[in-house]
Chains A and B, each alone.
Chain A
Amino acid sequence: MFSLVKSELALVWSLFRQDAGHNRKRMLLTVVAIGWGTLSIVMLLSFGEGMKRAFHKGTRGMGENIGVLWPGSTTRAYAGLGSGRSISFQDHDGEMLISRIPSLAAISREYSRRRGLTVGAKTVNARVRGVDPSFGAIRNHVPQSGGRFINEEDMRQKRRVIFLGEELAQDLFASQKVVGRELSINQSVFTVIGVAQKKAMMGMYSGPDKTQAAIPATTFRSMYTDAKVGNFIYLPVSLQTADLAKAEIYRVLAAKYRFDPEDRRALSIWDTRENQRITDNIALGIQIFLGIIGALTLFVGGMGVANIMYAVVKERTREIGIKMALGAKARQVMAPFVLESMVITGAGGALGTLVSLSIITVIALLPLEGEVADLMGRPTFSPAIAIATSLILGAVGMFAGYFPARHAASINPAESLRYE
Chain B
Amino acid sequence: MIEMTGIRKVYRTGRMEVEALRDVDLAIGNNEYVSIVGPSGSGKSTLMNLIGCLDTPSSGTYKLSGENVAGLDRNQLAEVRNKRIGFVFQSFNLLPYASALENVALPLLFAGVPDKKRNQRAKEMLERVGLGDRMDHKPTELSGGQMQRVAIARALVNHPAIVLADEPTGNLDSASGHAIADLFGELHAGGQTIVMITHDHTLARIASRSVHIRDGEIVEDSRVAA
Residues of B in contact (CB 8 Å), total 29
User: With A14-B109, A15-B109 in contact, is A325–B54 under 8 Å at CB?
Assistant: yes
In the complex, the answer to whether B110 meets A328 with C-beta atoms within 8 Å is: yes
Q: Which residues of B contact A114 (CB under 8 A)?
A: none
- Set of chain A residues within 8 Å of B82, measured between Cβ atoms: 326-328
Instruction: Establish whether residues A326 and B106, one from each chain, have CB atoms under 8 Å apart when the complex forms.
Output: yes
Asked whether B78 lies within 8 Å of A324 as measured between CB atoms, the reply is yes
> A-facing mask of B97-110, CB < 8 A → 1, else 0?
11000100011011
In the assembly, what is the distance between CA of A331 and CA of B74, in Å? 11
Q: A325-B87, A413-B54 are in contact. Are A11 and B78 (CB under 8 A)?
A: no
- Report how far A323 CA is from B110 CA in the complex, Å: 9
Task: Collect the chain B residues with CB atoms within 8 Å of residue A7's CB.
Answer: 112, 114
Known A-B contacts A10-B115, A323-B110, A329-B78; A18 and B83 likewise in contact (beta carbons under 8 Å) = no
Determine how close the nearest CB of chain A comes to the CB of B15; give it in whole angstroms: 20
Chain A residues near B112 (CB-CB < 8 A)? 7, 11
Among A7, A14, A326, A331, max chain B CB count under 10 A is at: A326
Say yes or no: is B52 at the interface (Cβ < 8 Å to chain A): yes
What residue in chain A is nearest B92 (Cβ atoms)?
Answer: A322
Which residues of A are found within 8 Å of B95, using beta-carbon distances? 18, 319, 322-323
Q: How far is the CB of B203 from chain A (nearest CB, A)?
A: 20
Q: Known: A325-B52, A325-B54, A326-B154. Is A332-B110 also a contact (CB below 8 A)?
A: yes
Give the residue of A18, A327, A329 whose beta carbon is less than 8 angstroms from that of B107. Answer: A327
List residues of chain A with CB within 8 A of the CB of B49.
Answer: 414
B65 CB–A CB distance under 8 Å: no
The smallest C-beta distance from A11 to any residue of chain B, in angstroms, reads 7
Residues 60-83 of B, flagged 1 when their CB comes within 8 A of A and 0 if not, give 000000000000001100110111
Starting from the known contacts A14-B109, A326-B87, A331-B75, 18 additional A-B residue pairs (CB-CB under 8 Å) come to: A11-B109, A11-B112, A18-B97, A322-B94, A322-B95, A323-B110, A325-B81, A326-B81, A326-B82, A326-B110, A327-B82, A327-B110, A327-B158, A329-B75, A330-B74, A332-B110, A413-B54, A417-B54
Can you sample 24 A-B contacts with CB below 8 Å? A7-B112, A14-B109, A18-B98, A18-B102, A318-B93, A319-B95, A322-B94, A322-B95, A324-B78, A325-B81, A325-B93, A326-B154, A327-B81, A327-B83, A327-B111, A328-B78, A329-B75, A329-B79, A329-B110, A330-B74, A412-B55, A414-B55, A417-B89, A417-B93
